[in-house]
């Protein structure tokens, strides 16, 4: 996050030029579909719903031609969103908050997962947290979900990040696993299914953050207010497709496992089964961006950005379209009269 604000300010200044080069007016495929460029910020099951919607043809059923783009780290995805090169950012953490405080018009329209399904693992010979002193832990990038919770974990156990334990940016979750196996780092923080790969390779879980009761935007959908104004129907279609894809994820485990396996390059069916079961319970049927889920993210931003102190969570979320979708009966038609 320390390196985020300056680039985002520059990106905002260049935004107008980029929007000229990359128009935000609807792009149309041959079938008359609205085109959306959607970025996901990590190769983890937390961002698998756009994969499901793409592979199952759900986006097309909702009038969309979606191009999926992998942009490692939420801060980079948000910079690209503000610049206009993508339309939707599926990220974890508060990079959208940081951007808005810097003058961007980012807004959270959905939070599919508000639980912290993240783990810190270590070499098998490390039995206690204190034994990490003088060693290195890998995260994706500074300011990301993996970085933030690693620092919380170390501080809770009396260790000072970057002094007692070095935090190393590895770029992505697969790179963290590779770094562990190569001995470049002695610990790493990530989610599913990367944690299962690490566990299978003999590394042990030191902390399961989900057991600590955090509420946090682990998986979120962020757009710009400009997109909401100019292409509301496309955003609505994306959210409807997301809700339908969550239903498919929950009710068709084999399909969900196949898709997760394809995107994460995981062939182990036991790993895929565990990943699907965990996230089938974690994904919200209606992914409202509740303000309670934003508080810890705002606290995270406030560590390096004084403007976040005292910020109102309501300023960063817009649940209107999801409320309208629920009121239309769309979710009940998917799940039956149980609705939500």
pLDDT values of the chain reduced to their tens digit, one per residue, 340 residues: 334 444 454 444 444 343 333 333 343 344 688 999 999 988 888 999 999 999 999 999 999 999 999 988 888 899 999 998 999 999 988 888 989 998 999 999 999 999 988 899 999 999 888 999 999 999 988 878 888 899 988 998 999 999 999 999 888 777 888 898 889 999 999 887 788 888 888 999 998 898 888 899 999 999 999 999 999 999 999 999 999 999 999 999 999 999 999 998 988 898 899 899 999 999 999 999 999 999 998 988 888 888 888 899 999 999 999 999 999 999 999 998 654 4
* pLDDT given at position 261: 93
CA of residue 1 relative to chain centroid, distance: 16
Place of tokens 């990106």: 11
CA of residue 8 relative to chain centroid, distance: 19
| Spatial contact of 163 and 136, defined as CB atoms under 8 Å apart | no
Q: List, in order, residues 6 or more apart from 72 with CB less than 8 Å away.
A: 41, 42, 140, 141, 171, 172
Closest CA to 120 of 43, 42, 173: 173
Around Cβ 216, how many Cβ atoms within 10 Å? 26
* pLDDT given at position 221: 96
Question: Which CATH architecture fits 5-115+216-335?
Answer: 3-Layer(aba) Sandwich (3.40)
* pLDDT given at position 28: 39
Q: What is the CATH number of domain 119-212?
A: 3.40.190.10
The whole-angstrom separation of Cα 150 and Cα 236 is 35
Rg of the chain in Å (alpha carbons): 19
* pLDDT given at position 13: 43
* pLDDT given at position 201: 86
Q: List, in order, residues 6 or more apart from 338 with CB less than 8 Å away.
A: 332
Residue 15, φ and ψ in degrees, nearest 5: -55, -45
* pLDDT given at position 320: 96
Task: State the pTM of this model.
Answer: 0.80
Tell me if domain 5-115+216-335 and domain 119-212 are identical in fold: yes
Domain boundaries, the chain: 5-115+216-335, 119-212
Strand 187-190 and strand 136-139: pairing?
A: parallel
332 backbone φψ class: left, alpha, beta (φ>0; ψ -120 to 50):
alpha
CA triple 226-331-262, angle to 5 deg? 75
Q: List, in order, residues 6 or more apart from 156 with CB less than 8 Å away.
A: none
């Amino acid at each position: 996050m320390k390196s985020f604000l300056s680039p985002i300010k520059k990106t905002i200044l260049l935004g107008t030029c980029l929007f000229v080069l990359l128009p935000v007016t609807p792009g149309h495929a041959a079938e008359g579909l609205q085109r959306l460029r959607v970025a996901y910020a990590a190769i983890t099951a937390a961002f698998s719903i756009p994969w499901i919607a793409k592979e199952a043809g759900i986006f097309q059923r909702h009038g969309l031609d979606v191009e999926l783009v992998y942009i490692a780290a939420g801060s980079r995805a948000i910079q690209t969103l503000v610049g206009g090169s993508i339309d939707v950012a599926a990220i974890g953490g508060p990079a959208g908050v940081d951007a808005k405080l810097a003058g961007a018009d980012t807004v959270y329209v959905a939070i599919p997962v508000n639980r912290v399904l993240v783990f810190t693992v270590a070499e098998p010979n490390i039995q206690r947290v204190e034994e990490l002193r003088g060693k290195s832990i890998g995260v994706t990038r500074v300011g990301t979900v993996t970085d933030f919770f690693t620092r919380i974990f170390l501080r809770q156990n009396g260790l000072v990040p970057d002094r007692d334990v070095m935090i190393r940016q590895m770029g992505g979750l697969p790179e963290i696993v590779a770094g562990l196996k190569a001995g470049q780092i002695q610990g790493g923080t990530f989610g599913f299914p990367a944690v299962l790969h690490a566990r299978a390779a003999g590394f042990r879980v030191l902390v399961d953050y989900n057991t600590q009761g955090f509420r946090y935007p682990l998986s979120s959908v962020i757009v710009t207010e400009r997109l909401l104004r100019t292409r509301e129907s496309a955003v609505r279609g994306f959210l409807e497709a997301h809700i339908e894809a969550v239903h498919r994820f929950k009710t068709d485990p084999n399909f969900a496992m196949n898709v997760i396996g394809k995107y994460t390059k995981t062939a182990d069916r036991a790993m895929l089964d565990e990943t699907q079961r965990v996230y089938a319970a974690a994904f919200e049927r209606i992914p409202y961006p509740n303000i309670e889920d934003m508080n810890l993210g705002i606290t995270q931003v406030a560590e390096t950005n004084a403007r976040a102190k005292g910020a109102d969570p309501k300023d960063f979320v817009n649940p209107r379209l999801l409320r309208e979708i629920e009121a239309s009966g769309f979710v009940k038609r998917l799940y039956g009269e149980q609705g939500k």
